[in-house]
């Protein structure tokens, strides 16, 4: 395969070099190289096992103890616990250090952006985090390892120690609303950038995908880096279908070289 950039990649590199404020929307595709499978891709979790989607659907989770027990077993063996940041995460750290990053709005719950060195205040976890557990009745938050220890000790569906309510990971399931303050921060980051870079996301889940619309309406350029086509490819000024880590590394390096020059 040629190492020469495509026209779209060359354009994206130029925009990145020129940008003063870049907002990144990251999806599952940015973490697949860290060993965390995506959901909708050819080897995705839901592609291989459509029934697994019930574990991320709030109505099923609340109504069916068996779904909750299955979800807790899945959490025990979540690849998030073994994952380490990859070149894509590190490229975004370099972008922040270059003074160009407005924010990373991530759909991921794995915490790998922060683990790579991205500033916590720059990372907006729009779909929550797997590293904490929350009670759906009293909102108590507990570090996930503490609750998983209870599962390993024989509690298949550990209730909240304060109120006895149902607990789940502090993530946004289908049917749950995003936290208003988190969505507001993500919307502001989308409107306050001159380049919006959607990376490793199918752009099919709202309201996250709609952040592209906010960015474009505010005058930002839109670039999409994803292995598969997305609904926003026709809107984007640059569409790059290639491995995310390789592309981001090249883009950031090119932007840095232009900046230094």
- One of 113, 127, 131, 214 is an active-site residue; which one? 127
Other Cβ atoms closer than 10 A to 181: 8
Bridge partners, 24 (sequence order): 104, 197
Q: How far is CA 95 from CA 39, 110, 216, 254, in A?
A: 27, 20, 21, 11
Integer distance in angstroms from the first to the last C-alpha of the chain?
Answer: 28
Distance in angstroms (rounded) separating the CA atoms of residues 122 and 172: 20
Distance in angstroms (rounded) separating the CA atoms of residues 164 and 61: 16
Task: Write out 146-211 in H/E/C secondary structure.
Answer: HHHHHHHCCCCCCCCCCCCCCEEEEECCECCCCCHHHHHHHHHHHHCCCEEEEECCCCCCCCCCCH
Bridge partners, 142 (sequence order): 133
Is 123 in a helix, a strand, or coil? strand
**Catalytic site residue 127?**
yes
Q: Which of the residues are catalytic?
A: 127
């Amino acid at each position: 395969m040629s190492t020469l950039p495509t026209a779209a990649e060359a354009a994206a590199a130029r925009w990145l070099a020129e940008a003063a404020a870049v907002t990144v929307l990251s999806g599952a595709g940015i973490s697949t190289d860290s060993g965390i499978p995506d959901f909708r891709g050819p080897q995705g979790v839901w592609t291989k096992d459509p029934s697994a989607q019930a574990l991320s659907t709030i109505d099923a989770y609340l109504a069916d103890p068996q779904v909750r027990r299955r979800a807790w077993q899945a959490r025990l063996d979540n690849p998030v616990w073994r994952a380490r940041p990859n070149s894509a995460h590190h490229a975004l750290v370099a972008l922040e250090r270059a003074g160009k990053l407005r924010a990373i709005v991530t759909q991921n719950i794995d915490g790998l952006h922060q683990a790579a060195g991205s500033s916590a205040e720059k990372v907006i976890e729009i779909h929550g985090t797997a590293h904490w557990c929350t009670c759906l009745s009293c909102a108590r938050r507990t570090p996930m390892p503490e609750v998983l220890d209870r599962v390993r000790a024989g509690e298949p569906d550990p209730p909240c120690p304060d109120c006895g309510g149902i607990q789940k990971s502090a993530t946004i399931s289908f049917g749950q609303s995003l936290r208003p303050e988190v969505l507001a921060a993500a919307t502001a980051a989308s409107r306050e950038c001159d380049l919006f870079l959607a990376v490793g996301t199918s752009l099919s889940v709202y309201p996250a995908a709609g952040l592209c619309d906010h960015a474009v309406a505010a005058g930002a350029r839109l670039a999409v880096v994803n292995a598969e086509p997305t609904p926003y490819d026709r809107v984007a000024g640059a569409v790059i279908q290639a491995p995310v880590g390789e592309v981001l590394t090249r883009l950031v390096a090119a932007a840095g070289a232009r900046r230094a020059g």
